[in-house]
Each structure stands twice: as C-alpha cells, then as structure tokens.
C-alpha cells in the first residue's frame, strides 16, 4: 500500500474519551471510529487486522475438525422462548419488532438457533460427533460499554457448538476446543491462560475462560506463575486423540489459575510464595460444557446405537475476535504506539523514503515496494512529502514490525537500514539483503 493513497486518518492529539491505551492507539492510528456508544466502524487498517485474526481463528478451528458456517445476526424470539432465555437474558438483549409485529432480536449468542438447526437435520448417532461454528457480529446492550472494542455493544465473536452422543464424547470436544484455543492465541503472539470460571447465564458444569494478563483487564486473576512457562509450540496435535487432548488439558489446567469468581484462597496459599501471583486479566475466550440443557429444553434428540432416543450433549465455545485486537495492543505497545506481533500485523514491512522526490531514493523505494509485494510481504510505503521525523512517528504509531529506511546517503554506499519496531535495533544492509531478511522473518508466520 502506498501511504499517499491510503485512508489512514491519524490523530495527533490523544482522544480524551479513551481511558485505556489500546482504545487511544486504535483511535490515533486510524483503525476505528465510534458511531454510537459501544458501536464502531472499522476503518481500513483496523479491518485488515480484524480479518487477520479471523483467518487465524478459522485455520485453527478447521484444523480441529470444526465446520465453519454462518448464521444471521437477527433471530426469532420464538426459539428463545423455547429455551426460556427470552425473559432470562434481560436488558442486554436488543429486542426488535418487524413490520408484521413479530418479535425478533439481535443475537447475543446462538445456542438456540444452532440447536434448532441441529434438531431439524440430525437424527442419528451416526452423524456425531459434530461441531459447527461461525464468526459473526453479536449485540449485547452492555450497561457500560467502554474501553473501545474491548467492551463494545456490537462485537465480532467466534462461537462454536459441539453435539455429542454422551458426556465423555462432549468432554473430548471440550478438550479439543481448549487445545485449539491455546494454539490460536499463541499464533497471535499472545499468552492467554485458561482459568477455571463460573458458568453465568449460559449455565453449565465445566467452563474455562482464557485470560490475557494486563493491568487494564476487568477481571482479577490469581495464578501460579509456573503456568507462564507452558507453551504449545509447534507440537503435532491429533485432535481425534482423546488421550492427547486430555493430556494437554491436564498440562494447562494443573497449575492454579482462577478468576475472582472461583478463587479458592486455601488452594492458592498452598502454592510456593514466590510463584503466587495476583493481577488483572482480559477475557478473550471461554469454553463451556453444559450437557443437555438446551437439547432437553428444545427436544434435540438422536437415536443411539441401541435404537433409543437420547438428548445430545452440547457445549459452546467463544472467542472475542474484536476484543482480541484491544488485548493484543494492551500486551504489546510502547509510548510511541502499537507494536504488532508479526502474525497479526496489518502491514508486514514499512518503507520510509527519507527524501521523496530524489530520483535515486524514489527508484530504490519503488524497487523495494515491488519486490516485497511480489513476495507477499504486504509493505506500506510512506511516499508522502513529509519530514523524516513525521514518517518515523507514523510507522511507530501504526506498529509495523519491520521498517526499511531509504535515503540518498545510504544509497551512495549501496545500503538501506532495517529496523525492528520491538527492539529499535537497526542494521545496514543492501536492499536485496533487507528483502531476503524480511522474507526469512515471515517465512514461519
């Protein structure tokens, strides 16, 4: 992308309405604009990051054997009356009446709709196990929308639903989700800790929330710091293996980690003191096993191997895709701006031309731009007639992980400068080497 042609409305001033750094930076970097309380437009760069996250979520869900689909945002109230949640959900539900006087609602989640699809289309144990998911906008009329996309009213969420013949099979689906979520967050450059949680209005027995540690998080969390050493890495996962998924769950849920809702002081005090940590966290996902709650209420049954009709065991599993962008920025920024992890950055390489209009500098930048584009390295080229300082400030603010600086002086010696946004380190090298180095950095991403 050429900066001169892009829509990147950067704010010089710090917006006064933003209380936390991710919200401030998303506004300043021209990623989002508020349209009304808790509702945002995603400008091109914000939208690009949202798509990147969405792709990672899809890839990891498909790898786990879950099927992507798409359900509508508007739902009929009748299904929610069947489950009893039309009344229970309260003021967070946005209720709408259509021209025929039918009660509709903007979906805050999709258990009822997916259960309806299931019961109308699946009759036999032979079609199980089955996990369906979608990534769709949700609406919850939060009492206090705040912190930008972190607690919006309209937000983008992945929600998946497993259907299994019995509890054991559903618990395997639960573990499979836990493992796929660990991989998802790790790929985004985040450390998200599964913590034992409370089940709330969805209801259920088994549930974990995934929390990213951050001072601005809304939840208080208590954990054994040993959990910070765990890593999924690039180990092979066989999602069909009940033992392997259970072992990974065991590994990640053995060290103590709980939110204030389920915190147990006695267990916590048993951890060696130097490993006992209390801090704050941002909830970026949650998994639930809730058994036959919805299948009983909505009569979703299948014939089992013995020819008997039995209710299916279900769970639901969510990832806050739009909230994740805030969480990533909370976890990765400095006083100059965002520092994108390579896997989610909107642009992979920034090109700064120190002397726009200088024939040699322009040609060198053009050449870099063409080559990086051809390699899929998605460069953003600051080709504006601006001072060098302003160009650096823009690249730092928008958080591009690698910057190539091109100027007449360096070009005389045949070199450009490659700079890491994270460490600030710069190395001089030929343009060809800079391209090769960037290709190498992004090869595994």
Residues that bind ligand ATP (CB under 6 A): 109, 140, 142, 151-152, 155, 157, 283-286, 318, 320, 322-323
Among 167, 159, 119, which residue's Cα sits nearest to residue 298? 119
Smallest gap, in angstroms, from Cβ of residue 427 to ligand ATP? 38
Distance in Å, CB of 209 to ligand ATP, minimum: 6
Q: Is the peptide bond before 129 cis (omega within 30 degrees of 0)?
A: yes
Distance between CA 184 and CA 70 in Å, rounded? Answer: 20
Indicate the residue whose CB is closest to Mg ion.
286
Beta bridge partners of 350: 380, 403
Longest CA span, the chain: 82
Q: Minimum distance from CB of 138 to Mg ion (Å)?
A: 12
The encoded tokens of residue 318 equal: 């969510």
**Distance, first Cα to last Cα, the chain:** 20
Q: Which of 103/218 has CB closer to ligand ATP?
A: 218
Least CB distance to Mg ion at residue 319 (A): 10
Instruction: Count the alpha carbons within 13 Å of 366 in the hemisphere toward its beta carbon.
Output: 8
Quick one: which segment of 5-13, 40-48, 283-291, 303-311 binds Mg ion (CB under 5 A)? 283-291
Position closest to ligand ATP via CB: 320
193 binds, among ligand ATP, Mg ion, none (CB under 5 to 8 A by kind): none
CB atoms within 10 A of CB 272: 9
SS3 216: coil
Find the binding residues for Mg ion in span 351-380 (CB under 5 A). Answer: none
Closest CB to Mg ion among residues 180, 286: 286
Which partner, ligand ATP, Mg ion, none, binds residue 313 by CB below 5 to 8 Å per kind?
A: none
105-133 b/e (C-beta count within 10 Å ≥ 16 → b):
bbbbbbbbbbbbbbbeebeebeebbbbbb
Comparing C-alpha atoms, which of 181, 90, 216, 96 is closest to residue 141?
90
Q: Which does 186 bind (CB under 5 to 8 A by kind): ligand ATP, Mg ion, none?
A: none
Of the pair 319, 395, the CB lying nearest ligand ATP is at: 319
14 burial class (0-12, 13-18, 19+ CB within 10 angstroms)? exposed
Stretch that binds Mg ion, among 66-74, 239-247, 282-290, 359-367 (CB under 5 A): 282-290
155 binds, among ligand ATP, Mg ion, none (CB under 5 to 8 A by kind): ligand ATP
Give the residue with the Cβ less far from ligand ATP, 293 or 421.
293
**CB nearer ligand ATP, residue 285 or residue 407:** 285
CB of 37 to ligand ATP, least distance (A): 12
The distance of closest approach from Cβ of residue 165 to Mg ion in the complex, given in angstroms and rounded to an integer, is 27
The site partner of 157 among Mg ion, ligand ATP, none (C-beta below 5 to 8 Å per kind) is ligand ATP
Q: Coil, helix or strand for 143?
A: coil
Number of CB atoms found within 10 A of residue 309's CB: 10
Which among ligand ATP, Mg ion, none contacts residue 368 (Cβ within 5 to 8 A by kind)?
Answer: none
Q: Which is nearer to ligand ATP, 55 or 426 (CB)?
A: 55
The residue (of 160 and 346) whose beta carbon lies closer to ligand ATP is 160
- The crossing angle, in degrees rounded to 10, of helices 321-331 and 21-28 is 100
CB 94 to ligand ATP: min, Å: 12
Nearer to ligand ATP, 118 or 288 (CB): 288
What residues contact 156, with CB distance under 8 A and at least 6 apart? 50, 54, 135, 136, 137, 138, 320, 321, 322
Taking each continuous run of H as one helix and of E as one strand, the counts in the chain are: 14, 23
Task: Compute the least distance from the CB of residue 126 to ligand ATP, in Å.
Answer: 31
The one-character DSSP state at 149 is G
Q: CA-based Rg of the chain, rounded to a whole angstrom?
A: 24
Q: Is 286 near Mg ion (CB under 5 A)?
A: yes
For ligand ATP, the closer of residues 157 and 372 by Cβ is 157
Distance in Å, CB of 283 to Mg ion, minimum: 5
Q: Which long-range contacts (CB under 8 A, 24 or more apart) does 93-98 make?
A: 93/140, 93/141, 94/139, 94/140, 94/141
Nearer to ligand ATP, 311 or 318 (CB): 318
Out of ligand ATP, Mg ion, none, what residue 285 binds, judged by CB under 5 to 8 A for its kind, is ligand ATP
Residues at the interface with Mg ion (CB under 5 A): 286
């Amino acid at each position: 992308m050429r900066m001169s042609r892009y829509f990147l409305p950067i704010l010089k001033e710090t917006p006064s309405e933003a209380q936390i750094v991710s919200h401030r930076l998303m506004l300043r970097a021209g990623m989002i604009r508020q349209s009304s309380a808790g509702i945002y437009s995603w400008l091109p760069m914000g939208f690009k990051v949202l798509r990147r996250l969405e792709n990672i979520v899809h890839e990891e869900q498909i790898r786990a054997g879950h099927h992507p689909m798409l359900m509508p945002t508007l739902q009929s109230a009748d299904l929610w009356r069947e489950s009893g949640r039309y009344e229970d959900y309260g003021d967070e539900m946005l209720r709408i009446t259509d021209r025929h006087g039918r009660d509709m609602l903007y979906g805050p989640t999709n258990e009822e709709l997916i259960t309806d699809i299931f019961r109308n289309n699946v009759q036999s144990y032979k079609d199980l196990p089955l996990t369906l998911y979608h990534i769709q906008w949700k609406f919850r009329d939060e009492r206090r929308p705040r912190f930008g996309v972190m607690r919006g009213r309209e937000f983008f969420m992945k929600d998946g639903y497993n259907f299994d013949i019995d509890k054991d099979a559903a618990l395997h689906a639960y573990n499979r989700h836990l493992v796929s979520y660990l991989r998802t967050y790790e790929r985004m450059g985040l450390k998200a800790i599964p913590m034992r949680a409370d089940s709330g209005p969805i209801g259920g027995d088994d549930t974990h929330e995934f929390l990213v540690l951050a001072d601005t998080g809304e939840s208080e969390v208590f954990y054994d710091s040993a959990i910070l050493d765990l890593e999924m890495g690039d180990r092979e996962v066989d999602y069909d293996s009940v033992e392997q998924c259970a072992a990974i769950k065991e590994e990640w849920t053995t060290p103590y980690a709980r939110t204030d809702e389920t915190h147990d002081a006695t267990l916590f005090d048993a951890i060696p003191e130097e490993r006992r940590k209390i801090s704050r966290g941002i909830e970026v996902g949650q998994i639930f096993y809730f058994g036959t709650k919805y299948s009983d209420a909505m009569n979703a049954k299948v014939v089992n191997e013995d020819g008997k009709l039995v209710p299916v065991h279900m769970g639901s599993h969510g990832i806050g895709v739009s909230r994740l962008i805030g969480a990533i920025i909370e976890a990765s920024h400095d006083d100059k701006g965002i520092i994108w992890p390579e896997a989610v950055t909107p642009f992979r390489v920034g090109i700064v031309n120190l002397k726009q209009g200088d024939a040699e500098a322009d040609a060198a930048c053009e050449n870099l731009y063409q080559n990086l584009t051809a390699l899929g390295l998605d460069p953003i080229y600051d080709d504006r007639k601006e001072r060098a300082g302003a160009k650096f400030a823009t690249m730092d603010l928008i958080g591009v992980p690698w910057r190539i600086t091109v100027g007449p002086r360096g070009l005389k010696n045949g070199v450009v400068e490659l700079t890491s946004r994270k460490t600030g380190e710069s190395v001089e090298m030929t343009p060809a080497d800079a391209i090769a180095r960037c290709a190498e950095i992004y090869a595994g991403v």
